[in-house]
């Protein structure tokens, strides 16, 4: 292939031609994104960025060579374009995996369309989501059509709305429906689920929405998925049951979440509420079976089987209720049984283990008998699979035979959740993702500790040297932000749940919010601190207050964006994936340094493993985890080059501890201020210089 020279081969107007394949010298592609290059000359909105060009070169190298590469790219780098263009030039069938739906949809609806508009290139793309995002037609007819005669007038009206949507939707994605309709029974039981899917045997298979989405993905050059679906594909591919078409390259965007999603994916769970639900579903089917003409009437073998199953289902529901009673009032997630002799367990745990092993036998017997009724009613088959899966999880948790797992119990209202959580997924990721000759590019704004990617590599199972870059954000932090670390707030000490520290924060926040005129995202490290602070400042702040948990994440963020001048209080799940550029966000306030929770079972297990491997618990686990989380939280402020505002960490350890001063050298920030007067002066100066400011 002859390298393209911008001055000779690229016309002055029209779309920019892209080569089909890579030149010998990757630098020959600089004409696309360089200053004064093709895109710079064609599009007034383009801002050439050296970091973007460096990432583009590294991504192109990885795609050409079939290599693994890791790139930390700070906010504003333009990383999406920097990896999409090499993916398209390569001609490889590429999966792009993200953690959050908003980024997935931004890439699909905005970034790929931008490339089609500005570049002379032909490619196809598809977006594929997890099956629980799609309407199951079989469930629709079962849960809605058959029940409509018993529903109230208001519910009848919602069903008509649902029917109209079903007839007109092109995708079958349930997110198109109003939130209230999706979350209320029986409408919350309409999504497709693997245990309830009959596949090609389903009478609605010809019109199945998930099958249609997968068919489009099979034909596409670029496939957008989320990390959960990508993880499912890695797992099932060895079982010849892959959920994605065969791919040649993968881009893992928001790669800082890869390990966490893998842990969630491989966690084994058993919920007493789920057990009650599956027994309830079975009982409904058994009642239906008794009314069937095929039952043979009283005294028949089928009727006897049904009656026996009903009794077993009732016994299992009673066993679940007893487990609920045993753990009622449990305040925090508790480790069930660590490695070691079982005679050291509390009596309650020994009783639970015995109950689980007995329950497992009952479940297996119930599942076997329910399977025999599949010929009578096809709905028995998915119930059988759910019972089987529950029995398997109960056995895994009760046997506690995997030393790489931590086993926990948690009470949530009338539900008790038992979990077996993998402590380390690095070897799994290494074996499934990093040992092939396929291109794998991992990128995020928060991967490095300092300037090193070694900690992230160790977490995800990469042990040999690979390609990689650490690129800082091009935004002007020094002139457009200040970092406020109040000297007068006491260092947080866990005493009565950080009560003294929490009171100091509740006094400080109203003063800060008066300076910023609201427009603040206040990030907390614990829900308890968030709730107590919210209660303490209500009535003392003249700005609308929103709190995580009062509505869905999407609705909460939308309200915060639209209500300029408002304040959002949130915990760890809002430290990432929140993108609010412009006037609605001019302050990110963090309560304290986000060390891993000391009372979290998974954190405890990781600390133990770190120590057992000869490394230091604090230096080699707690400190790197905290640094990455802090970068994620602070990264919510500047989302565009015109943004400005306050970064605040209300934890004086950032100034007084040796590790704190080291962190200040590693993160991007403006001048450090310790007095509120200095923060107010910064806001007055920015406003006087014409920087936009919301609120009133």
Residue 441 has pLDDT above 80, yes or no: yes
Instruction: Indicate the pTM of the whole model.
Output: 0.87
pLDDT value at residue 7:
38
| Phi, psi of 236, rounded to the nearest 5 degrees | -85, -15
- The DSSP-derived string for 109-127 is IIIHHHHHHHEE----EEE
pLDDT value at residue 694:
42
What are the pLDDT digits (tens) for 213-242?
Answer: 999 999 999 999 999 999 989 888 766 667
The mean pLDDT value for 168-184 works out to 79
pLDDT value at residue 296:
54
- Asked if 489 and 650 count as a contact pair (C-beta separation under 8 A), the reply is yes
Residue 522's pLDDT band, with cuts at 50, 70 and 90, is very high
| Phi, psi of 607, rounded to the nearest 5 degrees | -60, -40
pLDDT value at residue 517:
93
Q: Which of 58-72, 87-101, 491-505, 634-648 has the lowest mean pLDDT?
A: 491-505
pLDDT value at residue 692:
56
Q: Could you give the C-alpha distances from 59 to 62, 85, 429, in angstroms and in order? A: 5, 9, 21
The mean pLDDT value for 110-122 works out to 94
The pairing of strands 481-484 and 645-649 is parallel
Residue 693 has pLDDT above 50, yes or no: no
- The DSSP-derived string for 453-473 is -HHHHHHHT--S--EEEEE--
What are the pLDDT digits (tens) for 134-171?
Answer: 888 888 887 776 655 556 666 777 777 888 888 889 88
Q: How many Cβ atoms are within 10 Å of 399's Cβ, its own excluded? A: 14
What are the chain's domains? 268-422 (1.10.275), 477-688 (3.40.50.300)
Q: CA-to-CA distance for 679 and 686, rounded, in angstroms?
A: 11
Q: How far apart are the first and last CA of the chain?
A: 60
- Listed residue (4, 59, 432, 110) closest to 251, CA to CA: 59
pLDDT value at residue 696:
37
């Amino acid at each position: 292939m002859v390298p393209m020279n911008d001055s000779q081969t690229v016309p002055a107007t029209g779309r920019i031609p892209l080569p089909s394949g890579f030149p010998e010298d990757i630098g020959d592609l600089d004409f696309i994104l360089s200053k004064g290059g093709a895109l710079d000359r064609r599009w007034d909105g383009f801002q050439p960025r050296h970091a973007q060009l460096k990432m583009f070169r590294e991504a192109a190298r990885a795609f050409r060579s079939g290599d693994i590469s890791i790139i930390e790219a700070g906010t504003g780098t333009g990383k999406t374009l920097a990896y999409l263009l090499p993916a398209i030039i390569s001609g490889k069938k590429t999966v792009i995996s993200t953690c959050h739906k908003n980024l997935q949809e931004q890439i699909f609806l905005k970034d790929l369309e931008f490339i089609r508009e500005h570049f002379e290139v032909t490619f196809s793309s598809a977006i594929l989501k997890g099956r629980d995002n799609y309407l199951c037609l079989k469930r629709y007819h079962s849960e809605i059509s058959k029940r409509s005669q018993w529903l109230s007038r208001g519910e009848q009206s919602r069903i008509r709305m649902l029917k109209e949507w079903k007839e007109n939707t092109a995708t079958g994605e349930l997110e198109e429906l109003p939130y209230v309709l999706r979350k209320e029974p029986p409408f919350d039981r309409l999504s497709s689920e693997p245990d309830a899917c009959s596949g090609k045997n389903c009478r609605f298979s010809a019109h199945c929405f998930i099958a249609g989405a997968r068919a489009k993905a099979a034909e596409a050059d670029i496939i957008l998925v989320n990390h959960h679906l990508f993880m499912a594909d890695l797992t099932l591919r060895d079982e010849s049951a892959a959920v994605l078409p065969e791919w040649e390259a993968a881009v893992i965007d928001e790669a800082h979440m890869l390990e966490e999603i893998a842990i969630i994916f491989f966690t084994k769970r058993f919920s007493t509420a789920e057990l009650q639900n599956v027994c309830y579903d079975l009982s409904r089917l058994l009642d239906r079976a008794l009314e069937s003409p095929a039952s043979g009437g009283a005294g028949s073998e089928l009727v006897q089987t049904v009656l026996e199953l009903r009794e077993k289902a009732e016994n299992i529901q009673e066993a679940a209720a007893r487990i609920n009673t045993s753990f009622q009032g449990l305040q925090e997630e508790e480790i069930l049984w660590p490695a070691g002799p079982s005679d050291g367990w509390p009596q309650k745990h020994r009783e639970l283990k015995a109950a689980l092993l007995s329950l497992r036998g009952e479940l297996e017997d119930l599942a076997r008998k329910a399977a025999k009724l599949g010929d009578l009613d096809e709905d028995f088959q998915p119930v059988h699979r759910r019972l089987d899966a529950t029995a398997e999880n109960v056995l895994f948790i009760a046997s506690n035979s995997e030393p790489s797992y931590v086993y926990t119990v948690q009470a949530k209202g009338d539900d008790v959740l038992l979990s077996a959580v993998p402590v380390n997924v690095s070897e799994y990721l290494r074996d499934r993702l990093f040992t092939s000759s396929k291109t794998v590019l991992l990128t995020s704004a928060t991967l490095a500790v300092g300037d090193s990617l070694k900690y992230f590599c160790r977490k995800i199972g990469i042990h040999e040297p690979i390609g990689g870059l650490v690129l800082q954000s091009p935004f002007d932090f020094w002139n457009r932000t200040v970092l406020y670390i109040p000297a007068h707030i006491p260092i947080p000490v866990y005493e009565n749940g950080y009560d003294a520290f929490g009171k100091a924060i509740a006094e400080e926040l109203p003063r800060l919010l008066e300076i910023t005129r609201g427009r603040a995202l206040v990030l907390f490290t614990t829900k308890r601190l968030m709730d107590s602070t919210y209660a303490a400042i209500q009535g003392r702040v003249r700005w609308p207050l929103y709190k995580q948990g009062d509505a869905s994440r999407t609705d909460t963020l939308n309200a915060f964006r639209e209500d300029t001048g408002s304040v959002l209080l949130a915990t760890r799940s809002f430290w990432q994936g929140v993108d609010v550029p412009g006037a609605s966000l001019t302050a990110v306030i963090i309560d304290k340094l986000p060390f891993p929770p000391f009372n979290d079972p998974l954190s405890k297990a990781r600390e133990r493993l770190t120590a057992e491997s000869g490394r230091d618990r604090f230096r080699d686990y707690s400190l790197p985890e905290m640094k990455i989380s802090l970068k994620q939280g602070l990264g919510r402020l500047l989302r565009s080059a015109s943004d400005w505002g306050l970064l605040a960490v209300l934890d004086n350890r950032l100034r007084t501890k040796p590790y704190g001063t080291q962190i200040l050298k590693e993160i991007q920030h403006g001048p450090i201020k310790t007095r509120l007067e200095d923060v107010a002066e910064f806001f007055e100066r920015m406003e006087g210089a014409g920087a936009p400011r919301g609120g009133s």
